[in-house]
C-alpha cells in the first residue's frame, strides 16, 4: 500500500512540475528555435513571407536551404551595427543614471522609520501599476517646446528661448530612467534593508568617519543589489521600442525600433529574425548573470 | 550631524517622489483643461471625459483589454503558482535550472524579441496543426500568460521561501496527503501573494503594447494599441482623461487592498489577544483548582 501511495505522490509531483514546464517549453523556448530557423530562410512575397528551409524536390530528395544572407546583410549594412552599439550605449548611460538616482532613494527609504518604510516602498511601486505607455506619454507634455518644463524655465527667467528637448537623446534618457527607476530601487532596497547596521557602528568605533563607513562597508555589501538592479534595467532597455519612438528623434537608431520596422514596415521576417538572434547573443551573458542572481535571491539554492 | 543626515534623507525622498509623480499629476491636471493644446491652460472643463464616453473605438478596445487581462491573469496565477511551488519546494531535480531560467528570462527579455518569437510560433503552429486559426484574442491571451506568469512565479517563489514550512511538515506528520496540505495549509497562507500576483499580471496584461502588436490580428486592437497610434500623432486631451480614469481605478484598488490588509492585521491581533486571554484564564483556573 505504502509504495503505491508513494508512487502516486511522486506522479502528482511530476504532473505539478510538468504543467508549467511544458507551457514554458512550448511558448517560450521553442519560439526561439523557430526564430533561429527563420533567420536562415529567404524572404518572399507570400503569407507567411519566407521560404521553407526544408523542401521536397521530388524523387524523395529533401533539400535544405540555409541562407546566411540575412546575417551577412546585418554585417554589411552599417545601419545595424550602429543601431546595436547605440542601443547598448543608451542602455548603459540610462542604467548609470538610474543607479545614481535610485541608490540614494533606496538608501533613504531603507534607513527610515520601520513603520514608514512599507508606505514609502508602496509609493515607489505605485506608478508601476499605472500604464507605462501613459507615463511615457506624460513626458511629451512636459518636454515639448511649449510644454511644462520649458514654460517653467521661461517663467523663472533661466532661458529666453524654449529649448528643444523632445525628440532628442536627452528625452530618451529621461524616459528610460523614469520608467525603469522602480526596477532599480526594488532590489537595492531589499538589499540595504537587510544590512546589519551594527557593522557600521563597529566601523565607527574603529574610527571610520560616516562617509568612510559608507564607502568601505555599505557600498561593498550592497553590490549584489546594485548588480541585480542594473541588469533589471539594462537588459530590457537595450531592446526598448516605445520610449525611443515616442520621445526620441525619428532618426534615432535603436535596435528595438529597427526590428519593429523590418517586421511591420518592410515585412522582412527573416531579417527581423536575424536582428533578434544577434540581439539575443548580445544579451545572453547579462541574462545568465541575472538568472543566477535571481535564483539566489528567491532562495531556491539553499534547499 | 544626525540632523544633517535626516535633512539629506528627506530631501532625497522629496526630489525622488517629485520625479516619479509630477508626470502623473500633470496628466491629471491637464485632463480638465478645456484647451485642445493640452499644455496651454484654457479653463476648467470635463468635456474630454464626455468625448471619451462617445469614442467607440476606445471603449471597444478597453473592453477587449479588460477581458484579455482578466483571463490571462487568472491562468497566469495558476501556472505561476505551480512553477513557484516546484522551484521553492521540490528541491533539486533534473531540469530545475532550465525551469528557473525559463521563468526568469521573460522578466528581462526585450519585448520585441518575445513578441516576434511568439508570432513566428503561432504562424508555424497554424501551418502544421491548423491551430490557432489566425491571430486574435487567443494568441494575445497565450502570449500574456507566458509573459505574466514569470512575475507571478517570482512573487510566489519568494513568499514560499520566506514561509515557515513547519506547518506543512506538521500536517504531513498528521497524515495529510500532499495535495491536501497544499490546499488546506499552503494556499491560505500564500493567498495574499497570489492576490498581488494576480493584480500584477492583470496590470501588465492591460498595459502591454509591443508583444500584443506582434501577435494581434486585424480587428483585435487592444487599448494600448489604440492609445499608441493616437499618441504617435502628438498629445491629445482625451488620452489625458483616459489616463486619469486609469489612475483613479488604481488608487481605489490600492486603497481597498490596503484597508482589507489592515483589517486582517487587526483581526489577527484580536485573535492573538483572545488566545492569550483564554490561556491566562486556563492557567488561573488550574492554579485555583
Residue A1 predicted with pLDDT over 60: no
CB B135 within 8 A of CB B122: yes
Kindly state the cell numbers that stand for B205: 496584461
Alpha-carbon distances, residue B250 vs B150, B230, B258 (angstroms): 22, 23, 12
Pair A26, A140 in one domain: no
Residue in A126, A131, A263 nearest the CB of B254: A126
**CATH classification at residue A98:** 1.10.3720.10
- Cβ distance A242 to B79 less than 8 Å, yes or no, reads no
Residue A55 predicted with pLDDT over 80: no
Residues B29, B24: Cα–Cα separation, whole Å: 9
Pair A159, A267 in one domain: yes
With respect to residue B282, please indicate whether it lies within any of the assigned structural domains: no
- Cβ distance B250 to A126 less than 8 Å, yes or no, reads yes
Q: Which of the pair, B191 or B78, is modelled with greater confidence? A: B78
The pLDDT score that the predictor gives to residue A297 is 67
With respect to residue B252, please indicate whether it lies within any of the assigned structural domains: no
A63 pLDDT band, cuts 50/70/90, is: low
Pair A141, A243 in one domain: yes
The pLDDT score that the predictor gives to residue B44 is 84
The pLDDT score that the predictor gives to residue B39 is 66
Helix B187-207 vs helix B237-288: crossing angle, to nearest 10:
170
With respect to residue A303, please indicate whether it lies within any of the assigned structural domains: no
- Cβ distance B111 to A12 less than 8 Å, yes or no, reads no
With respect to residue B284, please indicate whether it lies within any of the assigned structural domains: no
Pair A146, A257 in one domain: yes
Instruction: Report pLDDT digits (tens) over A13-33.
Output: 888 888 999 999 999 999 999
The pLDDT score that the predictor gives to residue A303 is 34
Residues A259, A263: Cα–Cα separation, whole Å: 6
Q: Which of the pair, B260 or A237, is modelled with greater confidence? A: A237
Residue A301 predicted with pLDDT over 50: no
With respect to residue B215, please indicate whether it lies within any of the assigned structural domains: yes
Other Cβ atoms within 10 Å of B67 Cβ, number: 13
A250 phi/psi in degrees, rounded to 5: -55, -25
One DSSP character per residue, B16-51 reads HHHHHHHHHHHHHHHHTB-STTSSS---B--HHHHH
Closest chain B C-alpha to A131 CA, distance in angstroms: 6
**CATH classification at residue B133:** 1.10.3720.10
Q: Global pTM?
A: 0.87
Residue in B16, B107, B112 nearest the CB of A260: B112
Share of chain B above pLDDT 90, in %: 33
Pair A29, A131 in one domain: no
A159-173, B131-145, B232-246, B252-266: least confident range? B252-266
Residues A295, A298: Cα–Cα separation, whole Å: 5
- Cβ distance A141 to B117 less than 8 Å, yes or no, reads no
Locate cell 501577435: which residue?
A: B215
With respect to residue B209, please indicate whether it lies within any of the assigned structural domains: yes
Residues A86, B247: Cα–Cα separation, whole Å: 34
Burial of residue A169, with CB atoms counted within 10 A of its CB: 0-12 exposed, 13-18 middle, 19 or more buried? middle
Alpha-carbon distances, residue B149 vs B144, B157, B194, B256 (angstroms): 8, 12, 11, 24
With respect to residue A136, please indicate whether it lies within any of the assigned structural domains: yes
Residue B164 belongs to what domain range? 54-237
Pair A142, A260 in one domain: yes
- Cβ distance A31 to B118 less than 8 Å, yes or no, reads yes
Q: Which of the pair, B75 or A262, is modelled with greater confidence? A: B75
Count of domains observed in chain A: 2
DSSP β-bridge partners for residue B44 = B33
Pair A192, A238 in one domain: yes
A208 pLDDT band, cuts 50/70/90, is: confident
Give ipTM to 2 decimals.
0.85
Pair A155, A239 in one domain: yes
Residue B248 predicted with pLDDT over 60: yes
Count of domains observed in chain B: 1
Residue A144 belongs to what domain range? 77-297
The pLDDT score that the predictor gives to residue A259 is 93
Residue in B111, B177, B203 nearest the CB of A129: B203
Amino acid at each position: 500500500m505504502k509504495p503505491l501511495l508513494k508512487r502516486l505522490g511522486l506522479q502528482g509531483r511530476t504532473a505539478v512540475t510538468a504543467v508549467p514546464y511544458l507551457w514554458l517549453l512550448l511558448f517560450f523556448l521553442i519560439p526561439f528555435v523557430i526564430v533561429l530557423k527563420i533567420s536562415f530562410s529567404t524572404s518572399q512575397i507570400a503569407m507567411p513571407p519566407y521560404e521553407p528551409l526544408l523542401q521536397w524536390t521530388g524523387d524523395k530528395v529533401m533539400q535544405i536551404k540555409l541562407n546566411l544572407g540575412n546575417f551577412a546583410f546585418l554585417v554589411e549594412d552599417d545601419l545595424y551595427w550602429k543601431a546595436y552599439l547605440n542601443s547598448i550605449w543608451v542602455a548603459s548611460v540610462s542604467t548609470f543614471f538610474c543607479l545614481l538616482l535610485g541608490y540614494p532613494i533606496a538608501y533613504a527609504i531603507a534607513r527610515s522609520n520601520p513603520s514608514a518604510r512599507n508606505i514609502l516602498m508602496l509609493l515607489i511601486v505605485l506608478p508601476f501599476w499605472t500604464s507605462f505607455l501613459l507615463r511615457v506619454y506624460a513626458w511629451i507634455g512636459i518636454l515639448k517646446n511649449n510644454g511644462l518644463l520649458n514654460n517653467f524655465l521661461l517663467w523663472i527667467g533661466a532661458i529666453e528661448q524654449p529649448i528643444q528637448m523632445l525628440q532628442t537623446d536627452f528625452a530618451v534618457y529621461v524616459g528610460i530612467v523614469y520608467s525603469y527607476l522602480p526596477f532599480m530601487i526594488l532590489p537595492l532596497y531589499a538589499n540595504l534593508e537587510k544590512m546589519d547596521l551594527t557593522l557600521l557602528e563597529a566601523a565607527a568605533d574603529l574610527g571610520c568617519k560616516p562617509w568612510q563607513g559608507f564607502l568601505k562597508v555599505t557600498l561593498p555589501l550592497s553590490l549584489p543589489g546594485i548588480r541585480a538592479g542594473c541588469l533589471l534595467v539594462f537588459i530590457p532597455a537595450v531592446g526598448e521600442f516605445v520610449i525611443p519612438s515616442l520621445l526620441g528623434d525619428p532618426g534615432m537608431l535603436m535596435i528595438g525600433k529597427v526590428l519593429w520596422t523590418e517586421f511591420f514596415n518592410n515585412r522582412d521576417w527573416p531579417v527581423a529574425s536575424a536582428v533578434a538572434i544577434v540581439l539575443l547573443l548580445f544579451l545572453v551573458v547579462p541574462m545568465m548573470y541575472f538568472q543566477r542572481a535571481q535564483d539566489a535571491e528567491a532562495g531556491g539554492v539553499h534547499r | 550631524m544626525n540632523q544633517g543626515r535626516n535633512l539629506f534623507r528627506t530631501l532625497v525622498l522629496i526630489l525622488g517622489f517629485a520625479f516619479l509623480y509630477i508626470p502623473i499629476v500633470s496628466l491629471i491636471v491637464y485632463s480638465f483643461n478645456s484647451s485642445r493644446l493640452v499644455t496651454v491652460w484654457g479653463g476648467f472643463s470635463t468635456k474630454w471625459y464626455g468625448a471619451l464616453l462617445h469614442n467607440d473605438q476606445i471603449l471597444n478596445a478597453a473592453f477587449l483589454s479588460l477581458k484579455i487581462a482578466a483571463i490571462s491573469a487568472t491562468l497566469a496565477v495558476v501556472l505561476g503558482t505551480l512553477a513557484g511551488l516546484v522551484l521553492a519546494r521540490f528541491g533539486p531535480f533534473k531540469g530545475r535550472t532550465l525551469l528557473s531560467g525559463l521563468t526568469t528570462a521573460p522578466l528581462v527579455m526585450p519585448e520585441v524579441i518575445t513578441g516576434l518569437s511568439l508570432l513566428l510560433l503561432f504562424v508555424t503552429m497554424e501551418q502544421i496543426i491548423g491551430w490557432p486559426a489566425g491571430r486574435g484574442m487567443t494568441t494575445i491571451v497565450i502570449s500574456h500568460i507566458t509573459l505574466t506568469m514569470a512575475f507571478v512565479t517570482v512573487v510566489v517563489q519568494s513568499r514560499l521561501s520566506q514561509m515557515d514550512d513547519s506547518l506543512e511538515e506538521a500536517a504531513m506528520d498528521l497524515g495529510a496527503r500532499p495535495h491536501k496540505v497544499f490546499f488546506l495549509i499552503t494556499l491560505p497562507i500564500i493567498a495574499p501573494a497570489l492576490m498581488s500576483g494576480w493584480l500584477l499580471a492583470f496590470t501588465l496584461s492591460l498595459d502591454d503594447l509591443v508583444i500584443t502588436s506582434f501577435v494581434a490580428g486585424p480587428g483585435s486592437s487592444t487599448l494600448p494599441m489604440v492609445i499608441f497610434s493616437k499618441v504617435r500623432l502628438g498629445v491629445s486631451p482625451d488620452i489625458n482623461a483616459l489616463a486619469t480614469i486609469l489612475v483613479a481605478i488604481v488608487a481605489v484598488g490600492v486603497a481597498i487592498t490596503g484597508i482589507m490588509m489592515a483589517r486582517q492585521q487587526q483581526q489577527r491581533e484580536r485573535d492573538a489577544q483572545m488566545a492569550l486571554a483564554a490561556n491566562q484564564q486556563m492557567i488561573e483556573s488550574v492554579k485555583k483548582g
